[in-house]
Amino acid sequence: MTLNPKTGETFTLQKEVDKYRPIFYAGASGDFNPIHIDAEFGKMVGLGGNILQGLCTMAFVMQTVSDWSGDPYRVKKLKVRFAKPVLPEDTVTVTGTVTEVQGRTARCTLVAKKQTGDEVINNAFAEVEVGR
């Protein structure tokens, strides 16, 4: 599949975070920090409950770019800034915008927001190989 993006093109992905997502991600990643898997511990340290691992939220961003490009191997660079925590039962929407297409590279900015409008990932960008 040939990818021919245009500057200004946008793409999105929405992910619902069920109450088990932090536990599933802990098993896959080995990140069993109590702030992710123990709601009472999360409350005790002022988070209001357990929070999703930041790298799981970053994986949502990667999936958005990968799905848009049609091939995860096209994604050559991904950078994110974690802005706020994601809680179980949140819905995260990732939006990407193509900002530049130069040669065989598309550059995209990305942002991930919760249903409240709060940005959970910002100042994110990706570089994607195009034209093959």
- The answer to the question of residue 30 being in a domain is no
- CATH code of 113's domain: 3.10.129.10
- The answer to the question of residue 38 being in a domain is no
- The answer to the question of residue 116 being in a domain is yes
Question: Are 15 and 52 spatial neighbours (Cβ–Cβ below 8 Å)?
Answer: no
Q: Considering its fold, how many domains does the chain have in total?
A: 1
User: Radius of gyration of the chain from Cα atoms?
Assistant: 16
The pTM assigned to this predicted structure is 0.94
**Residues 6 or more apart from 45 whose CB is under 8 A from it?**
35
What tokens were used for 124? 């994110």
Q: What tens digit of pLDDT does each residue of 78-132 get?
A: 999 999 999 999 999 999 999 999 999 999 999 999 999 999 999 999 999 997 6
What tokens were used for 52? 């999703």
Q: What tens digit of pLDDT does each residue of 55-74 get?
A: 999 999 999 999 999 999 99
- The answer to the question of residue 71 being in a domain is yes
